[in-house]
Chains A and B, each alone.
Chain A
Amino acid sequence: MTAEHRIRFLLNGQSRETAAASTTLLDFIRETERLTGTKEGCAEGDCGACTVVVTRVVNGEPVLEAVNACITLMGQVDGRAVTTVEGLLGPGRAAHPVQRLLAETDGTQCGFCTPGFVMSLHAFAQSGEAVTVENVHEALAGNLCRCTGYRPIVDTALGLAGPAREDATASPLGGLADSDVNVPGWHAPRTLADLLQLRAERPAAVLVAGATDLGLGPSRDRAPIVDAIDVTRVPELNDITETSTAIEIGAAVTYARALPHLDRLYPTLGTYLRRLGSRQIRNSGTIGGNLGTASPIGDSAPFLLALDAEIELASRAGSRHVAIADFFTGYRKTALKPDDVITTIRLPKLVDGDLFRCDKVSKRYDQDISNVAGTFRLRIEDGRVVEARLAYGGMAATPKRAMAAEACLVGGPFDAAAVDAAVAALPGDLAPIDDMRSTAAYRMAVAGNLLRRFLIAGPAPAGLEAMP
């Protein structure tokens, strides 16, 4: 790993090279390439005005994904094809069908958010998903608009029925491949052994997966990342494997890739995850990265706790497994040692008789930090609860299990009396606070009501009933 390999990628079909690995994709597009259709609205991945489509080849098939260019770093686009709003134009600058429809429905007013919407709509049209109101809302949740009230944009999306996938050409990358990037400040090892070696040699380097958190520095503060190791090119970290008892998700697997698997295995988890960040964020962000940054408000911790997930850590000395409960050791602190890398997250499957439910309460439906998040799993044998795991986010300084409440549920049937006892025990387990998002009293009341709803509604899809 000595020779310099610059980042190579396609921009609107043209080949490009750069060594500026921790420059944001948005700065590259706007400042270097002077393609100003892509906008900077917040520089934090919140508004979607900078949305572009990144294409990569997975199992020989092109996969088009919308991402926030503001928090995507150049190192991440190596071997990929980037399409901006300008790149959608046909011969003679003819508007793309998405662009034509959006103009026709009056889906653009001030026009500043419009290119981002165009790209999210394009990715949606190319995804082959069913064109339903729910899917449209999810696909566009990461794009904010202050003028239109969104309805004409939703109408545009609904008008995209039966996408032709005409843009998914046979070889969108033109033979481009991951190039084992090695430029100052950015290393992208291709094997686990190389990754562990680099990690050991560069204890001060930051590990980058989706950069949805790390990207804020280069974006909002224009503060470059001095030394980064990109973990996403290591095959082992991109695997999803299933056994009869568990699913193992590589640390570099994005939320978007994990979602269909988790949706299938754990009722309500898919709905819950679709409200985590936005599609742009889920297309980049990873569970491994979320664990690594150890954000206290991360929405993944409650379901990992309830499912009793196990984290595999690896270093040159070998690998070891840490229970999720032992992984978080304090505010933004984890069990990771300086030369450790998170390799996989192992989630036990539910067994017959298990009850499971995730819920999230927020003021705004999508892309909002939870006031309270709760995930519950009960194991029931012969009509009696033999194991209970009740995990909450937003109810204490760190995501936390309510163990006294769990004890109230174990040993008897899962019924109203048991739930009443468990709800009564919650104040001993949890210590919510008043803050700008909510009050302690409300959080405690909701924590109990989520548990009651678990009893009444069972593992029904969470949240969807509140949709218009």
Chain B
Amino acid sequence: MMLREDRSPRRYEAALKVRGAARFTAEIPVASMLHAALVLSPLPSGRVGRIDAGEALALPGIVRVLTHAEMPRIDRPGVLIPLQGPDVHHAGQPVALVAATTPAAARRGAASVEVAYERRPAILNLADGEPFAPKTAGRTATDSRRGDPETALRQAEVAIGRRYTTATNNHHPMEPQCVTAQWDGERLTVLTTTQAVFAHRLAIAECFGLRPEDVRIVSHYLGGGFGAKGGAWFPHLVMAIAAARVLGRPLRLELTREQMFTLTGRRQETVQDLKLGATKDGRLTAIVHESLAPTSMFGEYADALATVTRVLHACPNVATRQRLARVNAPQPNPARAPGEGPGSFALESALDELAYELDLDPLELRLRNIAAHDQHVDLPWSSNGLRECYRAGAASFGWARRPMRPGSLREGHQAIGIGMAAACYPAYRMASEAAVGIGADGRVKVRCGTQDMGSGTYTVLAQLAAEALGMSYAEVDVELGDSLLPEGPYSGGSMATASFTPAVETAARDLRGRLLALASADAASPLAGIAPERMSIADGMIRSGNRSEPVSELVARRAPQGLEARAGAAPEARPDFSAFGFGAVFAEVRVDSDLGEVRVSRLTAAYAAGRILNPLLARSQFVGGLIWGVGMALHEATVMDPHLGRVVGTSLADYLIPVHADMPAFDIHMVEEDEPRLGSGGVKGIGMLGTVGTAAAIANAVFHATGRRVRDLPIRVEHLLRPD
């Protein structure tokens, strides 16, 4: 069905943001606050020796220099809270914190602190680490096995085995991380850039031995997150809170752009081996997907690289195996489409290679392998719109006109190529509460302690309440980003909307029922005595037949303090179905034959991701996801010095995120699905899906343009101009 973007409510907080009036974390003043700056280790491994803060302390405005010797001990296994001990595990690790009366003074003070180190041996490259099996890969099992893939590979009519690699990426939300910590006895207020108000409240309470209700976390506006403002930010948040406690004054720490390369997590690099077996007519008979990625010396994190491999295409014999190796580098963590992004690059590139082995159209190969059910967990799909995505995307893109032979399309000195890939992402959910209320002024208020990192949470919260109540969108106010509110979900894993939607809708329907009952029972109402089920609410009016009353008048008369309904929703413990969003991406690239420069000229994508609440904002989310795929394919790489273990080039001039002129023409199709079985109100989540498959579609298009198969991301100009 067609979704109308033009009728979508506009972004709730857009008017504030375009005026520069949305107040981000670093802009909320706190009385008598100090400012922090960090002293960082230049060594990837070692032990902090003498720290000489004499020169720094003599500078104007410096209040104190804190090292591990002055900080309280915090017991939190698995994460590296800085300033807890003298050991250095990665270059860029904080070893001292300078507190000053202004940010500038703190920055200058940090530059004046002298630190002596004892250097220790370091493992700087993934190849030098010792592989081990992590406990989990993201939210999934590390290894999987169905059928007998080794035998199936040996017996396959056609088999390929290829190695793919992807680079380390940094999230780089435009807003750097910030925290302002304020202690009041045993009560704590933390203003911070967080994707997880409630998860951070609980974890911080545990770190400091506080009751969760004595910790308040506030995050009203987030300048992007993409994973960088969740668990990876947490250790530094804790460091700043501990420092504020020692200082006895509120403290603000703002990270610099340079620090965002090392202190806020990273998408781990990967080495992936993909083996595919198939029949001559293109039925997959075996998939083996083995991967290796780095983790830090102190934490364990593995992206779910194999999720897509396990479920996307039908195949009876599949084995996946994910390994980590420890290196002296910053802790990796989820970045937009963690695992599914890089993992799908390997799988969907390999599918393209198989298609050329078979001399079969790459789309046709995929159409012959649509999975009728989720073979990984052996459950039926809640729905699977992949076939419709293939059809809609291919038709709009003009795939049918594509010549099979690489190097067939040229325009001047440009080689033109088109390629495609499929995508899927799990429909995750977590428990959420929400409250919907109405005041005597007739304004509706939605309260939910989730946060909006630019994905549209304010908007859909308002929209859901308005629609369920029968009020207009403009009459709804939203409060989020505060742990004083009803407990809302984490913003990540494309799960926030799916989690709060049923809670908001239940609360709004409950409130609606109470309003109607109130009208029915109120002698002063024109609707007195009418059964609630015979009433309706639309445009702020309760109606039945020719009788009506504005909701605001009823509330003002009967509940002058206002009414509020609160509800919770939690995912099914053991669903009897498997829920994924699906998609198909089609890319056109132009490659300069003399220079190797690659530009993506067109991206068409079709997505089947359950119920779409707001087509305008959903399109923005899909396009945003696709851009991350373009960046992963062509631009983004955090380069580590193989000898020093430091990031090479720590600015946005060195780390290339796509600019305007790199953007293709986007053509987005949304296949709306009816999902009555999903307890999420039919919502599947959309933020990650656009980043899945996109890099493979671009690399496949580059192959089609040039005949060169690039298996290492990002695709570099020299890949395409090397001598044969």
Report A's interface with B, CB cutoff 8 A.
Answer: 27, 30-31, 34-44, 46-47, 49, 84-86, 89, 93, 95, 99-100, 102-104, 106, 108-115, 118, 136-137, 140-141, 144-154, 220-223, 361-369, 371, 436, 438-439, 441-442, 445-446, 449-450, 452-453, 465-468
**Which residues of A have CB within 8 Å of B16?**
111
Chain B nearest Cβ from A420, distance in angstroms: 15
Q: How far is A148 from B412 in the complex, measured between Cα atoms in Å?
A: 32
Q: Is the CB of A86 within 8 A of B20?
A: yes
Task: Check A220 against B256 for contact (C-beta < 8 Å).
Answer: yes
Instruction: Tell me whether chain B's interface is mostly helix, strand or loop, or mixed.
Output: loop
Q: How far is the CB of B28 from chain A (nearest CB, A)?
A: 9
Contact present for B11 and A436 (CB under 8 Å):
no
With A85-B20, A363-B634 in contact, do A109 and B454 touch (Cβ < 8 Å)?
A: yes
The 8 Å CB contact of A112, one of B224, B649, B653, B723, is B224
**Chain B 652-672: CB-based contact to A (< 8 A → 1; otherwise 0):** 111011111111111000000
- B704-724 residues at the A interface, CB under 8 angstroms: 714, 716-718, 721-723
A-B contact count (CB 8 A): 256
Instruction: For the A-B complex with A39-B223, A364-B635, A365-B661 known, give 18 more contacts whose Cβ atoms are closer than 8 Å.
Output: A37-B20, A93-B19, A95-B19, A100-B18, A110-B224, A111-B18, A111-B454, A118-B18, A140-B660, A147-B174, A223-B111, A361-B717, A363-B717, A364-B662, A436-B648, A436-B654, A450-B594, A468-B664
Task: Report B-chain residues with C-beta under 8 Å of the C-beta of A363.
Answer: 597, 634-635, 656, 714, 716-717
B200 near A: Cβ within 8 Å?
no
Instruction: For residue B643, give the distance in angstroms from its CB to the closest CB of chain A.
Output: 14
What 0/1 pattern do residues 405 to 418 of B give for CB contact below 8 A with A? 00000001110000
Instruction: Verify A371–B717 contact, CB threshold 8 A.
Output: yes
From the candidates B13, B111, B663, name the one contacting A111 in the complex (CB within 8 A): B13
Question: In the bound complex, how far is the Cα of B28 from the Cα of A30, in angstroms?
Answer: 12
> Hey, which chain A residues are within 8 Å of B619, CB to CB?
106
* Contact A147–B624 (Cβ < 8 Å): yes
**How close is A217's CB to chain B, nearest CB, in angstroms?**
11
Complex interface residues of chain B between 589 and 647 (CB less than 8 A to chain A): 590, 592, 594-597, 599, 601-602, 616-617, 619-620, 623-624, 626-627, 634-635, 639
Given contacts A106-B617, A436-B649, A442-B717, contact A149 B18 (CB under 8 A): no
**CB–CB A151/B175 < 8 A:** no
Q: Specify the main secondary structure of chain A where it touches its partner.
A: loop
A110 pairs with B174, CB closer than 8 A: yes
Alpha-carbon gap, A106 to B21, bound state (A): 17
Among A35, A47, A89, A109, point to the contact of B455 (Cβ < 8 A): A109
Give the residue among A43, A114, A141 with the most B Cβ atoms within 10 A.
Answer: A114
Contact present for B111 and A221 (CB under 8 Å):
yes
Among B414, B658, B718, the one with the most A-chain Cβ atoms within 10 Å of its Cβ is: B718
Inter-subunit contact B718/A442 (CB<8 Å): yes
Which residue of B13, B596, B639, B662 contacts A442 across the interface (Cβ within 8 Å)? B596
- Is the C-beta of B347 less than 8 angstroms from some C-beta in chain A? no
Contacts of A110 in B (CB 8 A): 173-175, 221-225, 453-454
Residues A47 and B635 in contact, CB atoms below 8 Å apart: no
Name the residue on A nearest B614 (C-beta).
Answer: A106
Contact A222 B104 (CB under 8 A): yes
In the A-B complex, list the 6 residue pairs whose CB atoms are closest, starting with the nearest: A37-B20, A110-B454, A112-B223, A111-B17, A442-B718, A85-B20
- Please list the residues of chain B having a beta carbon within 8 angstroms of any beta carbon in chain A: 10-11, 13-24, 26-27, 29, 102-105, 107-108, 111, 172-176, 221-226, 256-258, 412-414, 453-456, 590, 592, 594-597, 599, 601-602, 616-617, 619-620, 623-624, 626-627, 634-635, 639, 648-649, 651-654, 656-666, 714, 716-718, 721-723
Chain A residue, CB-CB nearest to B14: A103
Q: Complex Cα distance A41/B634, Å?
A: 23
Q: Is the CB of A368 within 8 A of B656?
A: yes
Q: Taking each of B27, B594, B665, which has the highest tally of chain A beta carbons within 10 Å of its own beta carbon?
A: B594
Give every chain B residue within 8 A of A222 (Cβ-Cβ).
Answer: 103-105, 107-108
A148-B620, A466-B592, A468-B664 as given contacts; A365 in contact with B454, CB under 8 Å: no
* Nearest opposing residue in chain A for B617, CB measure: A106
Kindly state the separation between the CA atoms of A44 and B414 in the bound complex, as whole angstroms: 35
Question: Counting chain A CB atoms within 10 Å of each CB, which of B102, B222, B595, B723 scores highest?
Answer: B595
With known contacts A85-B20, A112-B175, A453-B594, A144–B10 Cβ distance under 8 A: no
CA distance A34 to B11 in the complex (A): 26
Q: Are A366 and B659 in contact (CB under 8 A)?
A: yes
Known contacts A36-B23, A106-B11, A151-B623; A46 and B653 CB within 8 A of each other: yes
Residues in A whose Cβ lies below 8 Å from that of B653: 44, 46, 367-369
Decide: A152 near B620, CB < 8 A? Known: A146-B172, A366-B660.
yes
Q: B174 to A49, Cβ gap below 8 A?
A: yes
Name the residue on A nearest B719 (C-beta).
Answer: A442
